[in-house]
């Protein structure tokens, strides 16, 4: 299957199954509307009439070019990936999210964790549970060597002792088990101080800093407990963290959430760059349609034009450089097709653990009783749920196998699908639309880079 | 080729045959997390 679109002034054609990206002149781009597989070596003569705006010689030559691509497997490549998905089985667990604090010191209006407590009581994970989770992961990871652990919440800095003890414990035993732990942390920054920054710098391979952009955007929704804004408290701390991490060449990124209240979110991204942050992301809020700040179908045209504006801004070399996560794509060295069938690995090679040690498929399923998979204290893990997720892939989700974006999107977020569509295998359509738009921008930026070289 | 420029190596098919080693990072796709699309991740198999 092919997908053609115009972006940044290029005619771009993605051949989904081979992953080839072509830039075409107008004649070739228009001709593709007339062609489907299988292609014949001889061009149908009617093309000359249908493409009468182009000189005959060009039309014939163009057809030969397209036929050559077809023959070398980079145009209309057949979909023969389903055979791999049929054999998908459970994988070792290699990644976990530790919800160390079901509590938060901010009151962000859109928080999916319902201001940190996940709809339950506020609580902190004791260090023993953190350590039991480390043991659990080592055991469940079988022969996988690289293990990831993300400290998450609520706000993980509220459970600092647990963070420190868990990291120290994992470091003390990783070698003897032949493992390497990679820690990350996602924080709102309120409790950051020099001591914590030092520890994060030494131990965390990535650090995710939440800030929504301009002061008025951020303070409109990321509020302190007494209803004040959080921008002035957080920005100087994040600037310090980022300065250190840029210097040490360590990963971090500043992530914003955008809502209906700031559909001009490109300005928020540009503002984050002005604050000195280079690794950026801005994510659409996913929330109940009834919320006043929810993004609905009616907002999509505005959001698409905002993505266009950001894409054009980034393509213009006169503007300061930054990386925008959603516009990053590696067209040559990305993950293998097998990985792309299944995406996030939720409930299969990735799980989330809440403060009492209960295991869920991922952080967004936490607290939904039916999805509880076990507990780290007794080492139980529900094999049926694991198998269900192992077999939840682009060939078992509704509509994904016929979607041009499938090898980039990998079927989207199972949790969103479950929460909004009632079924992990039914994609959340608004998310799909935004995903596809972002991919067009991402591919166009790569095309732009390549064409200028 | 005069009418088409191909930007990349288009090696997805080949990757399926050698792929699936599981050494790469997990990647949450959702808004609340690290949120990359799978395709901006790196393959970590020894090449
Ligand atoms: S989740 Fe949506 S965008 Fe992603 S592959 Fe499926 S249909 Fe396409
Ligand atoms: S199901 Fe969604 S929220 Fe959960 S890990 Fe996957 S992409 Fe992330």
For residues A114-120, average pLDDT: 70
Question: Hunting for tokens 């859109």 — which residue is that?
Answer: A110
For residues A171-183, average pLDDT: 97
For residues A338-343, average pLDDT: 86
Report A:253-312 residues touching B (Cβ under 8 A): 255, 257, 281, 283-286
More confident residue, A121 or A42: A42
The pLDDT score that the predictor gives to residue A24 is: 98
| A241, A209 contact by CB (below 8 A) | yes
For residues A39-55, average pLDDT: 97
pLDDT over threshold 90, residue A78: yes
Q: List the one residue out of A164, A167, A166, A154 whose CA is nearest residue A124.
A: A154
The pLDDT score that the predictor gives to residue B30 is: 62
Closest-CA residue of A relative to B1 is: A65
* Option in B24, B37, B45 nearest A408 (CB): B37
Chain B: closest CA distance from residue A347 (Å): 11
* Option in B21, B30, B38 nearest A340 (CB): B38
pLDDT over threshold 60, residue A290: yes
Size of interface A-B (CB pairs under 8 A): 203
pLDDT tens column, A369-427? 999 999 999 989 999 999 999 999 999 999 999 999 999 999 999 998 998 899 999 99
B46 part of contact set with chain A, CB < 8 Å: no
Extract the tokens encoding A348.
């299969």
The pLDDT score that the predictor gives to residue A186 is: 93
Report A:119-178 residues touching B (Cβ under 8 A): 144-146, 148, 150, 152
Q: List the one residue out of B8, B33, B29, B26 whose CA is nearest residue A19.
A: B8
Question: Of the given ranges (A85-94, A335-344, A347-356, B28-37), which has the lowest mean pLDDT?
Answer: B28-37
pLDDT over threshold 70, residue B37: no
B11 part of contact set with chain A, CB < 8 Å: yes
| A359, A374 contact by CB (below 8 A) | yes
Please, what is the average pLDDT of chain A?
94
Atom of ligand 2 nearest to the CA of A415: 1
Banded model confidence at residue A212, pLDDT cuts 50, 70, 90 = very high
pLDDT over threshold 60, residue A141: yes
pLDDT tens column, A226-285? 899 999 999 999 999 999 999 999 999 999 999 999 999 999 999 999 999 999 999 998
For residues A66-78, average pLDDT: 97
Task: Determine the Cα–Cα distance for residues A444 and B3; give it in Å rounded to an integer.
Answer: 18
Q: Give the rounded percent of residues in chain A with a pLDDT score beyond 70.
A: 99
Residue A22: partners with Cβ closer than 8 Å, 6 or more residues away: A12, A13, A14, A15, A69, A74, A75, B4, B5, B6, B7
The pLDDT score that the predictor gives to residue B47 is: 43
pLDDT over threshold 70, residue B36: no
Q: How far is the CA of A362 from the centre of ligand 2 (A)?
A: 6
Task: Determine the Cα–Cα distance for residues A145 and A147; give it in Å rounded to an integer.
Answer: 6
Task: Determine the Cα–Cα distance for residues B9 and B6; give it in Å rounded to an integer.
Answer: 8
| A218, A230 contact by CB (below 8 A) | yes
For residues B18-25, average pLDDT: 79
**With b meaning 16 or more CB within 10 Å and e meaning fewer, what string describes A418-447?**
bbbeeebbbbbebbbebbbbbbbbbbbbbb
Instruction: Characterize the bridge pairing of strands A180-187 and A123-124.
Output: unpaired
The pLDDT score that the predictor gives to residue B33 is: 63
Helices and strands, number each (H, E), in chain B = 1, 1
Q: How far is CA A201 from CA A194, A247, A251, in A?
A: 10, 11, 10
């Amino acid at each position: 299957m092919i997908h053609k679109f115009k972006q940044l002034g290029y005619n771009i054609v993605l051949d989904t199954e081979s992953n080839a990206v072509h830039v075409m002149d107008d004649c070739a781009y228009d001709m593709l509307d007339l062609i489907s597989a299988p292609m014949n070596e001889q061009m149908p003569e009617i093309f000359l009439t249908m493409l009468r705006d182009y000189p005959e010689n060009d039309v014939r030559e163009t057809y030969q070019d397209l036929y050559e691509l077809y023959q070398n497997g980079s145009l209309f490549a057949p979909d023969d990936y389903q055979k791999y998905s049929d054999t998908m089985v459970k994988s070792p667990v290699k990644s976990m999210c530790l919800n160390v604090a079901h509590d938060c010191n901010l009151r962000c209006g859109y928080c999916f964790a319902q201001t940190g407590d996940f709809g339950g009581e506020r609580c902190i994970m004791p260090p023993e549970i953190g350590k039991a989770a480390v043991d659990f992961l080592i055991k469940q990871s079988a022969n996988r060597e690289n293990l990831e652990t993300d400290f998450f919440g609520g706000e993980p800095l509220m459970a600092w002792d647990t963070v420190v003890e868990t990291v120290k414990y994992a470091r003390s035993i990783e070698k003897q088990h032949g493992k390497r732990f990679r820690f990350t942390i996602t924080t709102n920054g309120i409790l950051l101080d020099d001591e914590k920054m030092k520890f994060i710098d030494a131990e965390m391979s990535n650090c995710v800093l939440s800030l929504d952009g301009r002061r008025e955007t951020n303070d409109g929704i990321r509020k302190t407990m007494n209803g004040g804004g959080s921008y002035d408290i957080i920005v100087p701390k994040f600037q310090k963290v980022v300065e250190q991490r840029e210097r040490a060449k360590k990963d971090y990124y500043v992530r914003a959430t955008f809502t209906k209240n700031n559909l001009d979110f490109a300005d928020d991204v540009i503002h984050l760059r002005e604050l000195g942050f280079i690794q950026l992301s801005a994510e659409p809020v996913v929330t109940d349609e009834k919320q006043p700040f929810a993004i609905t179908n009616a907002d999509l045209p505005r959001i698409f034009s905002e993505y266009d504006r950001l894409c054009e801004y980034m393509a213009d070399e006169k503007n300061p450089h930054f990386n925008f996560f959603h516009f990053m794509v590696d067209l040559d060295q990305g993950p293998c097709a097998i990985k792309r069938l299944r995406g996030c690995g939720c409930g299969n090679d990735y799980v989330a653990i809440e403060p009492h040690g209960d295991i869920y498929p991922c952080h967004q399923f936490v607290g939904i009783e039916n999805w509880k998979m076990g507990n780290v204290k007794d080492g139980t893990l529900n094999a049926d749920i694991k198998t269900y997720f192992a077999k939840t892939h682009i060939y078992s989700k509704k509509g994904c196998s016929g979607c041009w974006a499938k090898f980039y999107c990998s079927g989207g977020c199972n949790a969103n699908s479950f929460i909004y569509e009632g079924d992990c295998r039914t994609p959340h359509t608004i998310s799909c639309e935004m995903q596809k738009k972002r991919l067009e921008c991402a591919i166009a930026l790569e095309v732009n880079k390549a064409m200028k070289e | 080729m005069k009418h088409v420029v191909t930007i990349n190596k288009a090696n997805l098919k080949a990757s399926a045959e050698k792929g699936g080693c599981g050494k790469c990072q997990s990647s949450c796709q959702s808004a609340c997390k690290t949120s990359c699309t799978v395709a901006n991740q790196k393959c970590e198999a020894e090449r």
